[in-house]
Amino acid sequence: MHIFHISTSKSDFNDKPQTPGSPCSPFPIIGVGEGSNFDTLLLKTLGSLVAGKRRVARNGRLCREGDKLGLLYVVRFGQFKAVADDSIGQQRVAGFHMAGDWMGLGAISTGRHNFGLIALDDSEVHEIPFAAAAKTMITHPQMHHRFLEIMSEALCGEAHHSMAVGNSLDSRFARFLVQMGAKYSLLGYSNISYRLSMTRADIGSYLGSTGESMSRVVARFNAEGFVTISGRNVEVHNWVALDAVSRGLQREAKQTAIH
């Protein structure tokens, strides 16, 4: 299966994440270890809050929908999908999380996790006991403020996503690609050449569509030429066009693409 060693040496964090499929990215590939910008500041101040690390193998569950809130999680490496059990049986993907992302914030109000968390890759998270964290924040104003920002960011992200309702699938998928690029970029990876960790069906579910439809969108985008998606490898050739499509300006997008 997916066995990975348990050493806690730093090399662990450097060998794990995405190795861009194509060479020569214009972006600096900095290591995503202690030094990079996934909330280094917070993690430093928060060091004492991290009760432990936890590894989850691919397809493993970190928590279930309805679990009592005890821990918040910060992704250290790997990726997760948040899933909700829609009505009966049907499972919907609510979001994707990668290094630096906080998970479980929705549970603060309800006391229970509102989404299950499933690893898309072999992953590791920091476990942060919420109760203790809340207390500590009071004595660390900086941390307190940063945490509010984190929650606000999450809120914006969700609001942003929910604005996608009603846009065309092309638009939603383009936006998805842009966001993934942005996230990778933040982590120091290329945003024009990256590898997705989730299935077409997962993306479809996240975007309120289906795996089949995603497949077709991918084909369409490839044909348009502003992007090359082969399997899970994504290469963005025309960022402007992609962004235009994501905004629903299809007409202009094509003009830009044809150039």
Give, as ranges, the residues between 157 and 176 that touch DNA (CB under 7 A): 166, 168-170
Contacts of 69 (CB under 8 A, 6+ apart): 104, 107, 108, 110, 111, 112, 113, 130
Which listed residue (146, 215, 228, 235) binds DNA by CB under 7 A? 215
Listed in sequence order, the residues at least 6 apart from 219 whose beta carbon sits closer than 8 Å to its beta carbon are none
Among 163, 212, 255, 258, binds DNA (CB under 7 A): 212
Per-position x/- string for 182-211, each x denoting binding to DNA as judged by CB under 7 A, each - no binding: -----------------xxx--x---xxxx
Which one of DNA, a second copy, none interacts with residue 115, CB within 5 to 8 A by kind?
Answer: a second copy
Binding mask 60-99 for DNA (x = CB under 7 A): ----------------------------------------
The total of other beta-carbon atoms located within 10 Å of residue 135's CB is 11
Give the footprint of a second copy on residues 207-246 (CB under 8 A): 207-209
**The one among 46, 62, 117, 137 contacting a second copy by CB under 8 A:** 137
CA-to-CA separations, 60 to 123, 124, 129, in angstroms, rounded: 9, 11, 21
* 184/198 Cα distance (integer angstroms): 15
Please answer whether residues 133 and 72 qualify as being in contact, where contact means their C-beta atoms are separated by less than 8 angstroms: yes
Comparison of 126 and 172: residue with beta carbon closer to DNA = 172
User: Where along the sequence are the contacts to DNA (CB under 7 A)?
Assistant: 1, 166, 168-170, 199-201, 204, 208-216, 218-219, 229-232
Q: Which residues of this protein are in contact with a second copy, per CB under 8 A?
A: 84, 86-88, 92, 94-95, 105-110, 114-115, 134-135, 137-138, 141, 144-145, 147-156, 158-159, 161-167, 172, 205, 207-209, 247-249
